[in-house]
Structures are given as C-alpha cells and as structure tokens.
Amino acid sequence: MKKRMFSLIAGALLLILAACTRESGQANNEEANKPVPEAETQLVVKAVNYEFDQKVYHLKAGVPVQITLDNEDGNHGLRIPELGVKLDQAQPSTVITPDKAGEYEMSCSIPCGPGHKAMKAQVIVE
C-alpha cells in the first residue's frame, strides 16, 4: 500500500515537473526568437579603475544602438537599469532601441574596489 501511494505521488510530481519545464522552455524559446534590432550606431564605453571614459554619453531616441563595454583596466560591468542594459565580460555587448527621451544613470555592476560606488556616468537620450 505504501509503495503504491509513493509511486502515485512520485508520478504526479514528475508530471508537474514536466509541465513546468515545457512551459518554461516555451517562454525561453519565445524570448530567444524575438528579433534583435540591427544597430544603426555604436557606443563603446571604456572602463578603467573607478571611472568610465566619459561622464556623459548621448543617444538618440528610436535609433537602435549597439552598446559595448571595453574593460581597459580592472574587472567592471555596466548597468543602465531603466534601459535594460547589463553588460560584463560574459556579455560585453547588446543592442537596444531607447524609446523615451531622458537622463539615465550608468553605473558599474561589479564591485571593483574602493572607488566602485563613485563609478557612474549619465546617459542622455534625446
């Protein structure tokens, strides 16, 4: 009796896991199948210990841009949360189309030492 109950519970759990995995896989496939816009312009952000190469970067609203992080010195990441940008050595580049004009904060996303908290720049979308 206990073996049969265990088998029923184990079978039910396997069915639930299979259904969850299938749904998760579909969501991942949909995300992977989204077309990536082709960049019309490029922005290379160079990072050295505790600073980016510029204090202000300018982008145009509605124009696809390839943003690339170039770590010249140290181990840094780049994050612009409002634009959905998060770059590091594993993913040093992405293409985005900023659709809303405004000022956005760029910061280092990898703790890089005592100057990490001050490692910031502005991104102005016009």
DSSP type of residue 79: E
Where does residue 54 fall: left (phi above 0), alpha (psi -120 to 50 degrees), or beta otherwise? Answer: beta
- pLDDT for position 23: 45
Residues in Cβ contact with 105 at an 8 Å cutoff, skipping those fewer than 6 apart: 80, 81, 82, 120, 121, 122, 123
pLDDT confidence of residue 45:
97
pLDDT of the chain, 126 residues: tens digit per residue: 555 555 555 555 455 555 555 544 444 444 455 566 688 999 999 999 899 999 999 999 999 999 999 998 889 999 999 999 999 999 999 999 999 999 999 999 999 889 899 999 999 999
Q: What is the pLDDT of residue 74?
A: 85
Residues 6 or more apart whose CB falls under 8 angstroms from that of 123 comprise 56, 57, 58, 59, 80, 83, 103, 104, 105, 106
CATH topology assigned to domain 41-125: Immunoglobulin-like (2.60.40)
